[in-house]
Amino acid sequence: MHEAMEAARELQEQGIDAEVINIHTIKPIDAQAIIKSVQKTRAVVTAENHNVIGGLGSAVCEVLAKSCVAPVEMVGIQDVFGEVGMMDYLSKRFGLEAHNIIEATHTVIKRKK
């Protein structure tokens, strides 16, 4: 959440009003919160300290597939084996930092136009 909130603050400075939702469980997933947000923003960036395959990004895409169409970018571990180490190293190594979320946000904004 810290990286997502930092990204939202930096995006706000760039004139982008990002909505951050803390989806703390994948099962059950808060489909109503996701749908409500997508109806406002028309785009999604998921960020998770997990593999994007079978994680939050996949769960959000399942919700969207049943409800509404929107471009999605997933920030998370990109289908590679995990490593053990200090959190700051791992966040940088796997692209889980605020600047990665910001980059994904700019990408998804371009795709929704």
Asked if residue 77 has pLDDT above 90, the reply is: yes
Whole-prediction pTM = 0.92
Cβ-based neighbour number of residue 86 at 10 Å: 8
CA atoms within 13 A on the CB side of 6: 11
Cβ-based neighbour number of residue 32 at 10 Å: 10
For residue 113, what pLDDT band results from cuts at 50, 70 and 90?
low
CA distance 107 to 94: 18
Range 2-112 classified under CATH 3.40.50.920: yes
Place of tokens 């597939």: 65
Q: In this predicted model, what pLDDT tens digit does every residue of 12-51 receive, in sequence order?
A: 999 999 999 999 899 999 999 999 999 999 999 999 998 9
Give the pLDDT confidence score for residue 81 in this predicted structure: 86
User: Domain limits of the chain?
Assistant: 2-112
